[in-house]
Amino acid sequence: MENGHRKFPSTPGDIFIMVKSERKDLNFQVAKHAAKALSSIAELIEDIQGYKYLDNRDMIDFVDGTENPIDDERIESVLIGEDDEFKGGSYLIVQRYTDKQGAWDSLSTEHQEKVVGRTKMDDIELDDDTKPAWAHNAKSKVEVDGEEVKMFRQNRPYGNAMEHGTMFVGFSNTPSIIETSLTQMITADENGDYDKLLDFVEAKTGNSYFVPSQSFIEERFDD
Ligand code: HEM
């Protein structure tokens, strides 16, 4: 997707494996063995080691994931429904972003809060009078027939003092939810408003995947 100076590139990638635990050393071992096991059919092109940063903040220092659905609402938003041949699976969109740290740091905290749509220290949503139309949480929110439809984000900060950013990792029960969110974020509306977070982060990669359920895999690959 492209609009104005903003770009969401589509980059190569057929298989995505997310390895999660508190142990970076064990994560590395799993990744190494997975890459070896798949080496006859796939070439490893990116290995990003994310981590939990402060109290679940992303690299722009705001708490990330607060409005994620929980419990039954999470299951419903993530899993493909029973009537579908891919039931129990999910659709995943992954983008690797880098931060424009200097530009972000030059904003006042008050302005940063407007860009995100939440307060920085205590992670409270701005009220409608204070939240601009171009706030990230206004532009990324998806509604269908006036009802909010949620995705489930498992974003991870990554990187070091030279280059860092956020892996956007979003699951939904249909790819259209995240695609709609991306379209709303990148497109300038009739007032010229797009998601202002995109002035401070840059998408370097972009892929979408189907995530099979365990039973889907078992039914097709019995060894
Ligand atoms: C560098 C990339 C990104 C960063 C740093 C970021 C950060 C944040 C933060 C701090 C929040 C507020 C807290 C929360 O509710 O989680 C948020 C909310 C949200 N973000 Fe992002 N985000 C990024 C990319 C994206 C992308 C690419 C999408 C969609 C495709 C997205 C969708 C959402 C949604 C749906 C919400 C919740 C809106 C609401 O209901 O309040 N974000 N994000």
Burial 6-26 (b: 16+ CB within 10 A, else e): bebeeeeeeeeeeeeeeeeee
Mean pLDDT score, 35-48: 96
Q: How far apart are CA 203 and CA 192, in angstroms?
A: 20
**pLDDT number for residue 223:** 62
Mean pLDDT score, 26-47: 96
pLDDT at position 222 over 90: no
- To test the pocket of ligand 1, the residue of 153, 163, 177, 180 to mutate (highest count of ligand atoms within 8 Å of its CB) is 153
Q: How far apart are CA 50 and CA 44, in angstroms?
A: 17
Spatial contact of 208 and 13, defined as CB atoms under 8 Å apart: no
Closest Cα to atom 19 of ligand 1 = 137
Pick from 62, 94, 211, 68: which is nearest to 152 by CA?
68
**Residue 171 beta carbon below 6 angstroms from any ligand 1 atom:** no
Label residue 192 by pLDDT band (50, 70, 90): very high
Q: How far apart are CA 139 and CA 42, in angstroms?
A: 36
Quote the ligand 1 centre to 128 CA distance (angstroms): 17
Tokens 């202002």 correspond to 196
Quote the ligand 1 centre to 30 CA distance (angstroms): 29
% of the chain at pLDDT higher than 70 = 99
Q: How far apart are CA 81 and CA 176, in angstroms?
A: 15
Domain boundaries of the chain, sorted by first residue:
2-220
Quote the ligand 1 centre to 182 CA distance (angstroms): 10
**Residue 77 beta carbon below 6 angstroms from any ligand 1 atom:** no
Pick from 106, 98, 109: which is nearest to 157 by CA?
98
Total length of the chain: 223
Per-residue pLDDT of 77-122, as tens digits, reads 999 999 999 999 999 999 999 999 999 999 999 999 999 999 999 9
Q: Is 64 a catalytic residue?
A: yes
Which among 58, 61, 64, 99 is annotated as catalytic? 64
